[in-house]
Amino acid sequence: MKFLFLTLIFFSVTLQAQLKFVVEDFEGLANGDIDLKQNGLFTYGNIKANVNSKMDKKNYSGKRCIELNKEGDKTFGGWGKGIGVNIDLDAAVDYINFYVYCNDTNTIRIELQEDDNGDNNFEKETDDQWVYFQKILNKNQWQLVSIPLNKFKDMNNGGDGVFNVSYKNGKLLCLVFNLNNSENKNATSSWSFDFICFTQGKLQTATQLFDAPLTEQTNGCTLGAWSKEGNTGNFTEIASSFENNFEAGKKLGVVHFFQPFSVNHDTDEKQYPSVERINKIIAQNYIPMITLEDHFVNAKPSTKQPNLYSITEGHFDAFFSAWAKQIKQVNGIVLLRILHEFNGDWYPWCISKNNNNPELLVKAYRHIHDIFLKEGVTNVKFIWCPNSMSIPQEKWNFIMEAYPGNQYVDFVGLDIYNGAGKSVIWRSFLKEGIENYFILTQQLPNKPLLVCETSSRERKANESVQSQTKAEWIEQMGEVLKTDCSKIKLISWFNEGEKFKINSSRESINAFQNYILKEEYFTSGKTEFEKTLIH
């Protein structure tokens, strides 16, 4: 298909759009080449880049943008972002969007590099190179550009000539902006870009250019928390230990804790949650959410940990049956999360540790579910919960390939972290979570979506003070949950360790107090959650 037309969106827009993927919002960046390179950003030719953290006002796209200036004698230059992920883009309905500010009239060349042969490298002989030329007028103001993907042209003879960036075909390897097409050849050109993203449909704003998009009205979002008290079995203290960080006000609706098979090296030990304590949580007007961790914590290196094969073959049926009998005694509904974060590479049940076969996850999940059914357990709601990012980024690790089916899943979950594991890359809540949010809400629209774990690290001492802080991350999260991610019905803070706990700084506590607890959108207690989602 031949591609070529562009629409500029200013101020009010009437068409509904859904954000699919954030290429870059620049919130995690500061001045300096190191930050840019770590985040896959690059410049070439006569273009130099820095991050401006002094936007005139806070807005939907954040407080930071990238600034680019022409320097030196070279006659070519531009900038780009290495992406290298599988994104499910549909050229028939999807758009690429960005905010831009330019000090003279320019025509910029926008290039999308697609990996057709699966080698994770762009080669003109084997891959598609999609290009669009966009004229940017010197308006002395920010402009929002929205380009239909079906207007891009394939500019090389390699590849298959079909725009098929998806989870099953080609990766989107790189986005490049060539900036040396100024109509005023003597101009000292400068540009600013912000919030580069893909949407299904035109990006929608409200009445002002940088306002958050319009969204569907919902019944709000319930609050939950996990904290270390659950590790010692004292999960009745989780709610109070979290709530006591704040001024008197909202209560949590959900108390979250983990339970592994065992914690003391003994693979025969069955680490059941205390029915008495779970009933106490329910009596205190909270809903218990348990993550059943199908492994042995603190086990000897020689211990054979359960994997998807051994679970489906029935080697651990005694554990699951005993668990089912325990939960059956609880005087209320229990949210039960099993085989969570299966699209990562850190648990023995992850797809990456089980021959890269998502069908095994489906079989194991169904196997555990059916044991509870056989035991006559009727007070459990099952949660299927991927991580916000698939690691590794491979076709076989697409989350929907591991979906057990509607009859086995009551709630869909998602874990969204900034700075978990070994990652030093800072990602805003929106950038980290929106891709799988879009997939889950589009493909499973009738399954309530819960964020079972979320948190952000604090900035390190050697990081720039101009970068987004944890407090700003929380502030932006509150805004995102009311707009782009308004279908999320539970947000459960993972209150762990020095870097993730909510009271890691006074600023973080204040941000959660001001932008979450004081907002009417976030409901107090379990009533709204129970009324609308538990039947």
| 206 band by pLDDT with thresholds 50, 70 and 90 | low
In the chain, the N- to C-terminal Cα span, in Å, equals: 48
pTM of the model: 0.90
Ranges of beta strands (E only) in 125-233 are 128-136, 143-148, 153-154, 171-178, 190-200, 221-227
pLDDT at 530: 83
List the alpha helices (DSSP H) in 301-357.
308-312, 317-328
What confidence tier does 14 reach under pLDDT thresholds 50, 70, 90? very low
Q: What is the pLDDT of residue 506?
A: 94
Averaged pLDDT, 324-345: 94
**Residue burial 287-296, b: 16+ Cβ < 10 Å; e: rest:** bbbbbbbbbb
Share of the chain above pLDDT 90, in %: 50
When comparing pLDDT for 364 and 464, which is higher? 364
CA distance 201 to 94: 5
Choose the most confident range, by mean pLDDT, from 56-65, 69-78, 298-307, 431-440.
431-440
Question: What pLDDT, on a 0 to 100 scale, did the predictor assign at position 364?
Answer: 97
The predicted pLDDT at position 3 comes to 35
Q: What is the pLDDT of residue 295?
A: 72
Question: pLDDT averaged over the chain?
Answer: 85
Q: How many angstroms separate the CA atoms of 270 and 469, rounded?
A: 42
pLDDT at residue 225 greater than cutoff 50: yes
User: What's the pLDDT tens digit per position in 317-328?
Assistant: 988 998 999 999
pLDDT confidence tier of residue 237, bands split at 50, 70 and 90: confident
Domains of the chain in sequence order: 7-200 (2.60.120.430), 221-533 (3.20.20.80)
Are residues 504 and 470 in contact, defined by beta-carbon separation less than 8 angstroms?
A: yes
Q: What is the pLDDT of residues 433-486, one digit of tens each?
A: 999 999 999 999 999 999 999 999 988 887 777 788 999 999 999 999 998 899
Q: Name the pLDDT band for 260 (thresholds 50, 70, 90).
A: confident
Name the pLDDT band for 186 (thresholds 50, 70, 90): low
Among residues 298, 17, 358, 450, the alpha carbon closest in space to that of 167 is found at: 358
pLDDT at 156 over 70: yes
Q: Classify 361 as helix, strand or coil.
A: helix
- Give the Cα separation of 223 and 425 in Å (integer): 27
Mean pLDDT of 124-130: 88
Give 274's Cβ-side CA count (13 Å radius).
11
Q: pLDDT band for 52, please (50, 70, 90 cuts).
A: confident
Q: What is the pLDDT of residue 531?
A: 84
